[in-house]
Amino acid sequence: MAEPGPVAIEATELTKRFGTTLAVDGVDLAVPTESVYGFLGPNGAGKTTTIEMLTTLTPPSSGTAHVAGVSIDNRDELKQHIGYLPHDPPVYESFTAREQLAYAADIREMDRERADERIETMLDRVDLLGDANDRVGTYSQGMRRKVGLVQALLHDPSVVFLDEPTSGLDPRSSRTVIELITEQVDTGTTVFLSSHILPVVEELADTVGVLYKGRLVAEDSPERLVERTEEGTGTLEEAFLDITTEGGPV
C-alpha cells in the first residue's frame, strides 16, 4: 500500500460551542495537498463555523487544526498561506475593483509590481478588466463574487477556502470559475469548497465530506458516495439527500 501523501488541512476533534449550542462536534479532517475537498451539509450544519475556525476567524472551543502546516492558533503566519472567499465577500463599495484588489495586496504585503501584474491578469481571467475602474458598489452580486474570488487567490495561497464560489453567476461565468479552480489545483493549491450547487462539487471534488448537525457523517469520493444510494447510481445530490435525511443512512 502506498504511503499517504502530504496533508494540507488537518483537524482533530475540532469543536465549537456557542453557549449551550454545539455547532461543530469533534470534526476530524485530513485533506491532501493539491486536491479539492467538497464540504457539504444542510443549512445550519456548521459548515461556515468550521471554515471560520480553519481560517482563524473564530477560535475553537476545543480540538486542534493545522492548515498549510501552520497551527490555526498562529493567525499572523497562517493568513500568508491561505485565501478565503466567504459567502458575502467583504468589499468597500466606494472602491473600484482595481482599488479593492490593490488594498488586499497591500494587506498581504505583496510586492507592488507583482501585485499589479497579478491583478490585471486575474481581472482579465474573470472578465472584469473592462469594469475594473467602476465602483464595486455598482456591481451585481455575481461581479462582487468574482472580485472576492480574485481577492482570495491574489497572493497564490497554498490553501484556499471557497464558500459558494459560483453563487449568483451566469453559466459562462460559472464555467470560468470552475476552470480557474482547476488551474489553481494544477499549480499546487489545495481547495476547500463549500457549495449547495452539487453538480459543481461533483465535477471538482476529489473527496466530499458531509456535515450533519455538526458532525462529519460521511466522507468519500463523489463516485463512492453515489454508490451508497439505493440503486448505486444517480447523482451526488441524491446521495447527499440520503445521508442527511433524518433516520437515513449515515
The count of domains in the chain is: 2
Indicate whether 3 and 76 sit together in one domain: yes
Tell me the pLDDT tens digit for each residue of 112-167. Answer: 999 999 999 999 999 999 999 999 999 999 999 999 999 999 999 999 999 999 99
Same domain, 165 and 64: yes
Whether residues 51 and 163 fall in one domain: yes
Instruction: Tell me: do 133 and 57 sit in the same domain.
Output: no
Same domain, 224 and 143: no
Same domain for 54 and 163, yes or no, is: yes
Same domain, 123 and 95: yes
Q: pLDDT tens, position by position, for the chain (250 residues)?
A: 344 569 999 999 999 999 999 999 999 999 999 999 999 999 999 999 999 999 999 999 999 999 999 999 999 999 999 999 998 888 899 999 999 999 999 988 899 999 999 999 999 999 999 999 999 999 999 999 999 999 999 999 999 999 999 998 999 999 999 999 999 999 999 999 999 999 999 999 999 999 999 999 999 999 999 988 766 668 899 999 989 985 444 4
Residue pointed to by grid coordinates 500568508: 80
Q: Which residue has the cell 468550521?
A: 50
Residue 4 lies in a domain: yes
- Note down the domain range covering 12: 1-81+157-169+186-250
Is 180 within the bounds of a domain?
A: no
40 phi and psi, to 5 degrees?
-115, 160
CATH of the domain at 60: 3.40.50.300
Residues 76 and 6 grouped into a single domain: yes
Question: Based on the domain organization, do 141 and 211 belong to the same domain?
Answer: no
Whole-number Å distance between alpha carbons of 33 and 247:
34
Does 161 share its domain with 226? yes
Three-class SS string for the chain? CCCCCCEEEEEEEEEEEECCEEEEEEEEEEEECCCEEEEECCCCCCHHHHHHHHCCCCCCCEEEEEECCEECCCHHHHCCCEEEECCCCCCCCCCEHHHHHHHHHHHCCCCHHHHHHHHHHHHHHCCCHHHCCCEHHHCCHHHHHHHHHHHHHCCCCCEEEEECCCCCCCHHHHHHHHHHHHHHHHCCCEEEEECCCHHHHHHHCCEEEEEECCEEEEEECHHHHHHCCCCCCCCHHHHHHHHCCCCCCC
